[in-house]
Amino acid sequence: MKYHIWTEGCQMNVADSQRVGSALEHLGYTHTAKIESADVIVMNTCVVRQSAEDKAYGRLSSLQPLKQKNPALVINLMGCLVGVRGHDKLRKRFPYVDVFSPPSDPGPLVSYLTQGEIRSLEDAETTRRFFAMDEELILPVAERGKLVSAHVPIVYGCSHACTYCIIPYRRGIERSRPVGDIVSEIRALAAQGVKEVTLLGQIVDRYGTDVPDGPNLAGLLRLVCEVDGIERVRFLTSHPNYFGNELIDAIASLPKVMPHIELPIQAGDDTVLENMKRGYTQQAYRDIVAQIRSKIPDCSIATDIIVGFPGETDEQFMQTYQVLADLKLDVAHLARYSMREGTVATRRMSDDVTDTEKMRRFRLLEDLQEQIVTEINARYQGQTVPVLFEEKVKGRWRGRTPTNKLVFVETTENLKGLTVPVQITWTGPWSMQANLLQQIAPIQL
């Protein structure tokens, strides 16, 4: 019995797919990369923009002939296309789908395959007895002992109401995971060879606000840093309104927490920010960046930006351009505004910036950001930096600096999972090359 998983979208989906894979393996299935030979196909979907949703529909249609050929095939549609609010329309449109699962929940599939004996993997006791588990349900076999860096969801859902965003509708209200679950999961990952964890949430810096007696993100980071075997800790995505001094101080004082922060601004104009209901001004964002830089001098900062939000004028767009030009951030994830069904922006505003204009604004920011990051990265030339290596790609070892820059090293040595000081010999906007300094000895943190 074989399973195949197709994953689209964010890191949360990647983490969810790993858990589904692992759950299926506990049921006796083995992974196959060939979709045609699978007995169970999981499609883990994303709908954050129309293009992602279209991809999911395309993939789904391509499954119909497989199901016709083999009626015993189990097709599981999972993730944000399904969402948490029912799926009657999808069931009508795709009658050949057997199981529908909301994001982050392998429960419906496991329940289907076990004929209801296990309803939800949240029911830890039954799950443990059923599977006679001796290890946690996290990584599929193929990744155990091989994965260097893993993602760990710590906050599910989102209760913010950014007017453009469909995620709260599809992932449900914000729920922080209990601290004990998170820490024991990270211990299990460490035992499976993982060296770096990235804690995930839509607004990760709100971690714990819905749990009266639990730690906040700063407190959680302290606990995660104590897990033996974990050498690096990252987290994303942060929201400027919750990114306070306590968190900045925690990052500054915990050596395992990497100096890299994902802090979306979305727009650099106050009226657009207000229309997006982001809840801060562009000046407030600049102040937080200044605060981060004063306490964590070499911190790299990434941001997200949407161009062509309803009503965004050229002048307003140029404010965004100016903020990026001034702040010189390390990464800008750029997106063209895409209408999403059910959101406030779709219901109350008109998508009035043309596609051509959205593209023009996108390219302007893309060019600006390429110049900025080329300059930032050039400062690494000749420097010695500790890089955690993950895998060998086309003969070169690939790893990341603490600031999350991609580094390639050509060597015959096995660097997997090692943090090694390297000397940067070439820099470009999207990656760097480096040489090993001497014989490899893992450095002590």
Interface pick for ligand SAH out of 189, 292, 306, 424 (rule CB under 6 A): 306
Give the residue with the Cβ less far from ligand SAH, 264 or 402: 264
Per the DSSP assignment, residues forming a β-bridge with 407 are: 399, 432
Closer to ligand SAH by CB, 254 or 335: give it.
335
- Identified binder of ligand SAH from the candidate list 22, 266, 275, 419, rule CB under 6 A: 266
Query: In this chain, which stretch among 318-326, 334-342, 352-360, 365-373 interacts with ligand SAH, using CB under 6 A?
Result: 334-342
Q: Which residues pair with 78 in a beta bridge?
A: 44, 101
Tell which positions 246-265 bind ligand SAH, by CB under 6 A.
Answer: 264
Candidate list 151, 234, 239, 358; residue touching ligand SAH; CB under 6 A = 239
Residue 427 makes contact with ligand SAH by CB under 6 A: no
- The one-letter amino acid at 135: E
**Nearest of 6, 1, 54, 47 to residue 24 by alpha carbon:** 1
Figure out which of the listed residues 26, 49, 67, 260 binds ligand SAH, where binding follows CB under 6 A. 49
According to DSSP, the residues that pair with 45 across neighbouring strands are 79
202 binds ligand SAH (CB under 6 A): yes
Pick 120 or 241: Cβ nearer ligand SAH: 241
Interaction between residue 335 and ligand SAH (CB under 6 A) = yes
Residue 257 DSSP label = B
Q: Which is nearer to ligand SAH, 358 or 405 (CB)?
A: 358
For position 46 contacting ligand SAH by CB under 6 A, the verdict is no
Stretch in the footprint of ligand SAH (CB under 6 A) among 15-23, 332-340, 350-358, 414-422: 332-340
Distance CA 169, CA 207 (A): 19
Do residues 49 and 345 touch, judged by C-beta distance below 8 A? no
Choose between 167 and 385: whose C-beta lies nearer to ligand SAH.
167
B/e letters for 115-148, b = 16+ CB within 10 Å, e = fewer, are eeebeebeeeeebeebbeeeebbbbbeebbeebb
Measured CA to CA, the distance from residue 391 to residue 399 in angstroms comes to 7
Q: Is 278 in the site for ligand SAH (CB under 6 A)?
A: no
Q: Which amino acid is at 345?
A: A
CB 216 within 8 A of CB 179: no
Asked if 26 and 133 count as a contact pair (C-beta separation under 8 A), the reply is: yes
Torsional class of 132: left (φ above 0), alpha (ψ -120 to 50), beta (otherwise): left
User: Least distance (Å) from ligand SAH to the CB of residue 77?
Assistant: 20
How many residues bind ligand SAH (CB under 6 A)? The answer is 17
Strands in 149-153's sheet, in edge-to-edge order, are 149-153, 196-200, 232-236
Q: Sign of dihedral through CA atoms 257, 224, 83, 74?
A: positive
Binding mask 88-127 for ligand SAH (x = CB under 6 A): ----------------------------------------
Residues 208-237 close enough to bind ligand SAH by CB under 6 A = 237
CB of 369 to ligand SAH, least distance (A): 14
Residues that bind ligand SAH (CB under 6 A): 48-49, 164-165, 167, 202-203, 237, 239, 264, 266, 304, 306, 335, 337-338, 340
